[in-house]
């Protein structure tokens, strides 16, 4: 599906206006303690993690800590943010490198579940974490999902959601 058609479907979606302020931030990968973002990152003046991200998905929250904005792009797990962190919050050598989040599919918003052929989410999923029951009805295979977020921004109806987990 091309971007013009995807944009058209987004304009029809009743879910386009979300209140992001009430949502817990999605933290960067490569960390072992989410509380360090709230205690150490807020004192970091240079925010090197945000400046080195090629995908431009690291934003600085109101409290001054970094978080991921996966609404348009996803994380490639390139480790550049972890290498740039000089405060010890991010570590590229940590064993559990994944983004600590849960990706889910809201079938009430998904146009494929309404018999419209759409595979935007599966097309960008390198990890084959989205499978279809027939040509329609996608579902997320959690064991394969790395929470990278590439599927989120391409969904024309914002049916793929992500929430932080500690």
Average pLDDT over residues 91-101: 94
| Whether residue 4 has pLDDT greater than 80 | no
Query: Is the confidence at residue 103, as pLDDT, over 90?
Result: yes
Distance of alpha carbon 20 from alpha carbon 9, whole angstroms: 21
Residue range 42-71: mean pLDDT, rounded: 95
Is a pLDDT exceeding 50 seen at residue 20? no
| Burial track 79-115 (b if 16+ CB lie within 10 A, e otherwise) | bbbbebbeeebbebeeeebebbbebebeeebbbbbee
Q: How confident is the model at residue 22 (pLDDT cuts 50, 70, 90)?
A: low
SS3 130: strand
pTM of the predicted structure, to 2 decimals? 0.82
Judged against a pLDDT cut of 90, whether residue 40 lies above it is answered with yes
- Alpha-carbon span 60 to 66, nearest angstrom: 4
pLDDT value at residue 147:
96
Q: What is the pLDDT of residue 6?
A: 55
Q: Which pLDDT does position 135 carry in this prediction?
A: 80
Share of the chain above pLDDT 90, in %: 79
């Amino acid at each position: 599906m091309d971007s013009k058609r995807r944009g058209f479907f987004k304009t029809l979606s009743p879910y386009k206006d979300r209140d992001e302020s009430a949502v817990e931030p999605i933290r960067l990968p490569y960390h072992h303690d989410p509380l360090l973002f709230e205690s150490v990152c807020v004192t970091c003046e240079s925010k090197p993690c945000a400046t080195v991200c090629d995908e431009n998905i690291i934003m600085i929250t109101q409290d001054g800590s970094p978080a991921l904005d996966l609404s348009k792009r996803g994380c490639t797990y390139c480790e550049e943010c972890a290498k740039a962190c000089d405060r010890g919050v991010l570590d590229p050598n940590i064993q559990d490198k994944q983004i600590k989040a849960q990706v889910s599919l809201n079938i009430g918003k998904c146009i494929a579940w309404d018999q419209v052929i759409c595979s935007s989410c599966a097309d960008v999923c390198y990890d084959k974490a989205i499978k279809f029951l027939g040509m329609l009805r996608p579902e997320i295979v959690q064991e394969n999902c790395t929470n990278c977020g590439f599927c989120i921004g391409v969904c024309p109806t914002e049916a793929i959601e992500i929430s932080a987990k500690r």
